[in-house]
Amino acid sequence: MTAQQKIKWRRLRACSACDLVSAIPVLRPGEDASCPRCGHVLARRHLHPVQRSIALATTALLSLLIAVAFPFISMDTNGLDSQIALPETAATLVSVNQPLVAFIVSCTAIILPGLYLVGVILMQANLLRRVPRAYSDVIARLFSRLHPWMMADVFIIAALVSLVKLTDIGEVQLGASFWAYCVFALLLLMTTRSVDIDLLWFKLAGEPPPDTDIQCGINAAEQHVTGCKTCGLINTLPSDTRRSSKSAASDINYVCQRCGSNLYVRKPNSEQLTWALLMTAAILYIPANAYPMMITTSLGQSHASTIIGGMIELWQHGSEPVAVIIFVASVLVPIIKMLILALLLWLTRRPGPLNAQQKTALYRITELIGRWSMVDVFVVAIMVALIQSGNLMSVLPGPAALAFCAVVITTMLAAMAFDPRLLWDIQGKKQYDRVIQ
């Protein structure tokens, strides 16, 4: 192959974190290609990826069905026996007038992971049978959007925290569903890592040769091209968007030639939307901590506990590790995430003391930790479902449960709305060159 042919058929990607254009080499199973500037993974290869994904997704789905069908946790309190199945953690919330919290719990712990696994099986099976794109590209477009909202691993941690609380009340036994759900959470994680999005889109729709004028080591925006957030393909923008990168940022009526997703140089209104969501989360954080998260009734007497109050009670009862988990997940994580996002928004307008790599690392922290704040909400859902014995003993969700759910969701949406490429835009071309060298 001549040098000109190599340039014509090279596979280019624009990093979604820093916008640098790179060429992906031929990857063997077990290898991955990362952005040379910020380290963001551009592509990852697995051995027999289609068969691997089908096997993992099928096993995970079977584990989920077992987890739904059998008892999850049972408890004996002074002769009063109670047990719950996994779906009851959401169903009981509906019966106590918390339908929105019930919807969020059921979606994040059961429904969305289940739909994801079904989608993986159907799409990968189509690839094996060499069926035309059909609905496979629709499923593939949903993959990246579902990942942050599947919280089976967070639910497992919440179940373990609930066990510590429940052992102070009565004798607790773990059902077959609990262990099946643990296996499901592990297999779900392995399934998400096994799906090779880059290879998937290549098999679904091929890869058209890129424009030979596109150069590696230069930002995509500077070359009037942009990478698709869904399938990764670099697209050349129409001539009317080439006035400037800022004007092109608001033009989203152009679509990727391979997957049909909307294209944009930078996320439209990223800073304004992130600020709006961040301020909403900060306002909601006040009632989420001021009002009770859980109301416990024992022998006719009710006791309301806030997030901080519940943490203090756990500490006083000798459950220091669990108290620390609740403090970190429910108090520190939301505050840290809001402060980091506010700092990054401020740094999009000025270089500041941090370089772009450090800023990007901070942004990745916000993506990583945000979902773990749902631990306290899941704990409430499990406790409410298991302890319902009227005035003798019962647990009800407090008004803070919905407010805290809203805090978690809005902070996650704020992180998704923020465009990390803005952090590199403010650095300037000379600083780009120094990082590459």
Fill in the amino acid letter for 313: E
- 116: its two tokens: 């994801």
Exposed / middle / buried, residue 9 (Cβ in 10 Å: 0-12, 13-18, 19+)? exposed
Per-residue pLDDT of the chain (437 residues; tens, 9 = 90+): 444 444 445 689 999 889 999 998 888 888 888 999 888 888 888 888 889 999 999 999 999 999 999 999 888 776 667 788 899 888 888 988 889 999 999 999 999 999 999 989 988 888 888 776 667 777 778 877 888 899 999 999 999 888 888 877 778 888 899 999 999 999 999 999 888 888 888 888 888 877 778 889 889 988 889 998 888 889 888 765 544 444 444 445 588 888 888 888 888 899 999 999 999 999 999 999 899 888 887 766 777 788 888 888 778 777 788 888 888 888 889 999 999 999 999 998 887 788 888 899 999 998 888 888 899 899 888 888 887 765 556 788 888 899 999 999 999 999 999 999 998 887 754 444 444 43
Q: Give the pLDDT score at 369.
A: 87
254-255/262-263 β-pairing? antiparallel
What confidence score (pLDDT) does residue 435 get?
A: 40
- CATH, range 50-195: 1.20.140
CB atoms under 10 Å from CB of 77, counted, come to 17
Q: Which of 243, 89, 240, 206 lies closest to 151 in space, CA to CA?
A: 89
- Residue 235 φ/ψ region, left for φ over 0, alpha for ψ in the -120 to 50 degree band, beta for the rest: beta
Prediction pTM value: 0.87
- What is the enclosing helix (H) or strand (E) of 304? strand 301-305
Write phi, then psi, for 107 (nearest 5 degrees).
-70, -50
- Please, is 97 exposed, middle or buried when counting C-beta atoms within 10 Å of its C-beta (0-12, 13-18, 19+)? exposed
Residues 6+ apart with CB under 8 A from 46: 29, 30, 52, 194, 196
Rounded Cα–Cα distance for residues 18 and 343 (Å)? 18
Distances from the Cα of 108 to the Cαs of 93, 104, 185, 424, in angstroms? 15, 6, 12, 33
The alpha-helical segments, DSSP class H, found in 235-392 are: 245-249, 270-290, 307-316, 320-327, 333-347, 356-369, 375-386
- The reported pLDDT for the residue numbered 68 is 93
Is the CB of residue 392 less than 8 Å from the CB of residue 299? yes
Task: Please state which CATH number belongs to domain 270-432.
Answer: 1.20.140
d(CA 280, CA 297): 32
The pLDDT value given to residue 245:
43
- At 112 the pLDDT is 94
- Give phi and psi for 26, each to the nearest 5: -70, 125
Provide the pLDDT for residue 4. 44
Domain residue spans of the chain: 8-24+31-46+204-263, 50-195, 270-432
